[in-house]
């Protein structure tokens, strides 16, 4: 049998995401496929570096947590968004990485548009992290 966690435990686990990564982290969006894990060096071209709000995640509920506030930034590169990483405020430690899709595409994170041009305003449409068995 696989493990089953209570909703309270799943919510508490998700609450650690923001507290571990810290306030005002950076979400950096890159071209190409994600590296094997967060510890591996980033690949692809940096498209945009978005400094997230100090309090950047809502309170976890029902085993999921969503973005808080508006997440936007101005692109510094041109290309198709493939993956993202969330770093601490000093951009020294990657805490999360995942895939990017256009709105309605069903990836870990959705953008208003995955085709990015330098100087373009980039908006994160949705961002949700779900705990196991939620």
Q: Supply the pLDDT for residue 106.
A: 65
Rounded-to-integer distance, Cα 103 and Cα 131, Å: 22
Q: Supply the pLDDT for residue 55.
A: 95
Cα end-to-end span (Å), the chain: 16
Task: Note whether 30 and 42 are within 8 A (CB).
Answer: yes
Tens of pLDDT, residue by residue over 5-31, are 899 999 999 999 999 999 999 999 999
Q: Is the pLDDT of residue 134 over 60?
A: no
Tens of pLDDT, residue by residue over 72-119, are 999 999 999 999 999 999 999 999 999 998 766 666 788 878 999 999
Tens of pLDDT, residue by residue over 63-74, are 999 999 999 999
Rounded-to-integer distance, Cα 128 and Cα 117, Å: 25
Tens of pLDDT, residue by residue over 30-58, are 999 999 999 999 999 999 999 999 999 99
């Amino acid at each position: 049998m696989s493990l089953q966690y209570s909703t309270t435990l799943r919510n508490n686990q998700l609450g650690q995401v923001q507290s571990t990564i810290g306030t005002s982290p950076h979400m950096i969006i890159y071209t190409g496929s994600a590296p094997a894990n967060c510890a591996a060096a980033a690949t692809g071209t940096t498209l945009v570096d978005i400094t997230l709000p100090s309090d950047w995640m809502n309170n976890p509920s029902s085993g999921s947590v969503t973005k808080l506030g508006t997440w936007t930034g101005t692109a510094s590169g041109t290309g198709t968004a493939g993956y993202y990483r969330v770093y601490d405020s000093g951009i020294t430690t990657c805490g999360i990485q995942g895939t990017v899709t256009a709105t309605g595409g069903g990836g870990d994170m959705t953008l208003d548009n995955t085709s990015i041009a330098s100087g373009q305003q980039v908006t994160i449409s949705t961002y949700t992290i779900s705990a196991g068995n939620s």
